[in-house]
Structures are given as C-alpha cells and as structure tokens.
Structure 1
Amino acid sequence: MSQKYYLLLRLWLMPYTHKLFSLENGSSLKQISISMQNMKCSLSFHIVSNSCNGLVCLYSDFACGRDVFLCNPTTREVRLLPSSYLVTKVKDGMVLGVGIGHHIRSEDLIKVVRMWVSYSKCRRNKEYIFEEYDLRSDSWRTIQSANPWSCEFDTSCFAMYFNGIYYWWGKSKGLTETILALDVGGGILSKVKLPKDVDISSSSGRYLGVLGGCITLVCRKFGDQNANFDIWVTEGAGAVNSCWNKLRTIKHSSLCVPLGFWKGNELLVKIFDKVRSYNIDTEETYDLNFENEERDFADICEAVFCEKSLVSVNPQTRVECSRMGY
C-alpha cells in the first residue's frame, strides 16, 4: 500500500475543525474527506481523541461527549456507538475525555474508555466516573475505582493509550499539573512520577507519546522562557513508577508546538506557518509538503496519526471475519 499513514490536524481558531491527510509514498500529504454517513454532520464538528489499530475515536461536542464514534479512514466506515447507562444517569455533568485502546492480551479486542464528571444538585461536589466500551460485545460497563481520586481534570484531558493503560492530563492537590494512569482492569488511577522541574501546564507545550517502545514526554523546563524542548523517556514500558532519562533537548529560537511522533524516530512540530519533522537521532529537520496547501496551517495545535487498516467498526463484521480466518 502506498498510503501508510493518515494524519489528522486540529486547528486553534476553530478547535473542532480537522483536516485529514493521507501520506502518499512517504513524500507529500494529500487532503481527503470523510462524511459522517446518515448523521447530518461532518468530521469537523467532533473532537478527535486518538487512534488504535487503524480506527479513529471521536466524540460530539454538541452532545457534551455523549455521542462517541469509531471511524476507519481507510474503508470510510463511520459508526455511532450505542448509548450507555451513564448517558441517562449523568444529567448535570459532562464528558471530560474519551480514549481508544485494546485489550492488553489481544489487539483485536478494541476498547473505548470515557470519563465523566457528575455534579451534585448544589454543584459544590463532583464525582468522576469512568466507563469502558467493548467492540466485541458492543456494550458499555461502568468502572468502579479502587482508590479515591484527589485530582482535577480539564476538558479534553485524555493523553494516550499504551500497554493496557490509559493516560490523562490532570491536576493534583494544590492544582499541580500531573499525568494520571488508569488501569481499567483493576480500576486503579495512579499519579505518574514526572521528571524534576518540568512544565506541562500548557496544552500546546507538552506531548505524551511512545518512542522506541518507551513512554516519552516532550515538554519545557519549569520557568524556562526559551523555545527549547526536552525529550524524556522512561526506562521501562510503564511510567507510573519508572525513572525518566533526558534523551535530547530540541534547541530552537522560535516558539514551536510538539505535535507527535511518527515514522518511528521523528517528531512532528509546528513552527509558525510550517509543519516540520525533526529526526531524534540525526537532529535533521525537513518541511512537510501538503498538496493544495492552505494558509491556515499556522493555527495547527494537535496531530493524530492513524495507520492504514481494514479493521471494521462493526462488531458483526469483525465476528464474521474472525470466523473466516481474516
């Protein structure tokens, strides 16, 4: 297949406006479109969470996150997930984040996790509730936490999924910025130990991803006014109790926004009206070429990558394909 990746770019000035591109022969990015079939809306009016096994997870802002969709850019399939018990139960509240992953022992078992905040009648107290969707059973279940959550969450707080753990941007007591890891199986939400004196307070100045099989944090030093970024990697596959090592510092005189890792060892960054790829090993950079390029790329604040895949968003199709050996 000539198209190896899909790239979703989100814009600043219109937060829920996305542009979808396919990578052609590793050189240029060609814009493509996806229609939300029979739903009287488009991809542009949804918050894109992340991708897993070729599927993109997105949710509706107009319904306060109650509508969750799975989309396959390769097959152009789009499917609205069934409603859950919490949709009717949480009347005074909203969805803070949605993330897609898979069962830790099987990549074929697609999972979606959604976080709710529910307020009391006086709105002085609030409760955070997680639920998990299983594509195989096509149903949701509520996740009961085994520990109290003394933390705060902003909207769109989901960070990433890796090795059975869902990571979220949050704030601990004293409103200190932190990263929290949710183990769905045990219902445990744990605070991730961060490198010393790092600044993850700005959503445009941080990125959490995977590089070389290790969780990687891209951020600035606390109180540093320069445009430099530090790249930190964990020693192991997890991050909760792992030690961090500084891999490299990206020195730059202009303010840049880290967008994400792709092609293995390359970090995509946005610098003014340019999107560049930075090679972690060689420190070489090059500008990405966009077909039919428009001038609004200066407003890019986020990138979501999705590999090309024939994975179906339909549970029945997945079951039939499994029986046939596909």
Structure 2
Amino acid sequence: MTQSCYLLLRMWLAPYTHQLLSLEHDSSPKQISLPNMKSTCLSYHLVSNSCNGLLCLYSDFSCGRDVFLSNPTTREVRLLPSSDLVTKVKDGMILGVGMGHDYRTNNLIKVVRMWESYRECRRCKEYIVEEYDLRSDAWRTIQSSNPWCCEFDTSCFAMHFKGIYYWWAKLKGLTTTILALNVGGGILHKVSLPKDIDISSSNGRYLGVLNECMTLVCRNCCDQNANFDIWVNDGSGLGDSCWNKLRTIEHSSLCMPLAFWKGNEFLVKVFDKVRSYNVETEEIHNVNFENKGGEIVEIYEAIFCVKSLVSVNPLPLSIEFERYG
C-alpha cells in the first residue's frame, strides 16, 4: 500500500458508533478521533460510502433528509443544502444515500438519494432519484423508471463505479438482486449475476472494486460450508459483461465479509477476530486494531477511505473554471 488511508468501522450493538483508524503503510491500524460533529447535530448518523477521500454521512433520525460530507484528513464537515423534495414529498421516505463523482473528471463530487413516494391512490408507489452536484451546490430531481418492479429496503445503496450507482433490491419481495442506475438516463437496469449465489443477507455480501473491476463477494447457495466466493467483472454488469470466479475464501466457521483495504487484501470478521485475506497469494493473517474501547465482535461494517485534501465546500467559480475549463 503506497498511500496512507483510513478504515472506518461501524459497531453492531451501537449502530451510530464509528471508529476511525489510520493506516500508515505496513503499521498496525491506529484509532484516531473523528471530526467534530457535535455542532452539526450528527448524533444519529450513518456512513454511506467514501469517494476521493470524502465520507458521505446521513442522519438516520431525519430519515436521510440531512446529508453531510466529511473529510477525515482536513477535519471538515459540511451539511448539504436542502432540496425541494424534502418539503414536497410528504408521504414518502428516503431509502438510500450514496456518493460518487463525475466519471469524466474524477473530481466533481456528486451525491444521490433514492426516495420512495406514494401516489394519491396510496396503492402505487414510485421511486424518485435526486442528485446533488458539489459544483453547483444544488440538487436536481430525476424521475426514475423501475421496469423490474423491484422493492428497496433502507440502506439499499451498494456502491458507485464508473459513473453508475448500484443498489441492493428484491424482485417481488423475494429474490435479492442488484440494480444499476445511470443518473443521466434515470432508468434502473438489472445487473446480470453469477448463478447459484446468495446475496439475500446484508452481512453475507459485499460489492466493491478490485483492480479496477467490479467485485462481488458472497456465498454459494449450493455450498453448505461458510465459504465465500470472489467474483470479478471487468464491465458494468450490464449487457454482455460476464462474471468470473477469482477465488474462494474457505472457512469452517461463519464469517462476515467487510471490505477491500490494502490493495488486493480483503477483510473478513470471524467471531472475535478480523482477518485479512490476500486475493493473490491466498494468505490469511489476523489484524490487530489498536482501538480504544469496542470489541472486535461488535464490528458490523468497514469502509475504506483514502487520505486527500478534497474540500467539502463548493469551489469558487474562478478556481472551478481554471481546473475544469
């Protein structure tokens, strides 16, 4: 690992409690303090994901209506402006919040929110997506088309990759699948998945990026053991792109996939231990966190974040024009 990074851990018994760990080259992860969030009323916040060194957080107390950007390196925290939908959508809720960037520039930060809104008849519901652009410091509404009639649970955002936002969803409330949203078109596309996989449980699946390829870590429906398969796709999961099984993480006891961190290493939690699995060499070693309180058994989620100086504030127009033309 050539650059310094962060690892954000979310606790199981206290879901609003997070621990921020600093990763310096090959040294053990060391806990550091989170940016001061008391002034921004982030008492009940969840972390969606990271992008370009920023963390996207949203307030669970307000059902995702309050969204924040935070840079652990510069210690900046900023509440994003409100949108028209916050006041217009009375009978609805926010299902997922995710952050990405402009795929062409790799710098312009964007945030998306997916709403579930009921129409007047109360029997028909629609999904509305809105996108925030850090450059304009404003939200725009996108009427989303869901031809698959999928259902979404809360915290359904999976990841952002190459300009596409991915969401966990259920077909007719039963079979779990992944939908892809290209914000420009506003249409949710069903991602083709490997056969006989099990992505039904939120603590038994992971969607991320490895070596610039979309990567899915999950169980096999036909495998009675606690093994996890690692699948890679060099496309977007749409059209003719296909999945190839890269590795199988073999475990005799139940484990939980967490996140890729040191390049090609993947974190898994096994009871009271966290282990790092090297995808290339298949070597496994225990990871010791120098944490201040909070047991390993409580870890529920891990988010990897690079260190950067990207600001959470919109750029002045003069600087923006010089940088992006």
TM-score bracket, normalised by the shorter chain, equals over 0.9
> Which secondary structure state, in structure 2, belongs to the residue aligned with residue 260 of structure 1?
strand
Equivalence for 2:22: 22
**Residue 324 and residue 164 in structure 1: after superposition, are their counterparts in 2 closer, same or farther (change >3 A)?**
closer
Q: Specify the code of the residue in structure 2 equivalent to 1:140.
A: W
The answer as to 2:6 corresponding to 1:6 is yes
**Residue 249 and residue 127 in structure 1: after superposition, are their counterparts in 2 closer, same or farther (change >3 A)?**
same
Q: Structure 2-normalised TM-score?
A: 0.93
Q: Specify the code of the residue in structure 2 equivalent to 1:19.
A: Q
Is the contact made by 1:152 and 1:175 (CA closer than 8 Å) also made in structure 2? no
Q: Which runs of 5+ in 1 are unaligned?
A: none
Equivalence for 1:240: 238
Cα shift at 1:129: 0.7
Q: Distance in 1 between matches of 2:78 and 2:165?
A: 22
Cα shift at 1:194: 0.7
Q: Distance in 2 between matches of 1:324 and 1:182?
A: 31
Equivalence for 1:31: 31
**Residue 293 and residue 226 in structure 1: after superposition, are their counterparts in 2 closer, same or farther (change >3 A)?**
farther
Q: Distance in 2 between matches of 1:87 and 1:325?
A: 32
**Residue 106 and residue 2 in structure 1: after superposition, are their counterparts in 2 closer, same or farther (change >3 A)?**
closer
Q: Distance in 1 between matches of 2:272 and 2:296?
A: 6
Give matches, 1:84-95, under 5 Å: 84-95=83-94
Give matches, 1:124-203, under 5 Å: 124-146=123-145, 148-173=147-172, 175-203=174-202
Equivalence for 1:286: 285
- Once the two structures are superposed, residues 210-265 of structure 1 have per-residue CA deviations (whole angstroms, 9 ceiling, x without a partner) of 1111111100011533110011111x231123211111111111111111112221
> Which secondary structure state, in structure 2, belongs to the residue aligned with residue 171 of structure 1?
strand
Cα shift at 1:324: 7.3
Equivalence for 1:99: 98
> Which secondary structure state, in structure 1, belongs to the residue aligned with residue 115 of structure 2?
strand
Is the contact made by 2:127 and 2:144 (CA closer than 8 Å) also made in structure 1? no
* Greater displacement, 47-56 / 148-157: 148-157
Equivalence for 2:81: 82
> Which secondary structure state, in structure 2, belongs to the residue aligned with residue 298 of structure 1?
helix
> Which secondary structure state, in structure 1, belongs to the residue aligned with residue 295 of structure 2?
helix
What is the aligned-residue RMSD (CA, Å)? 2.1
Cα shift at 1:143: 1.0
Equivalent residue pairs, number: 322
Q: Which runs of 5+ in 2 are unaligned?
A: none
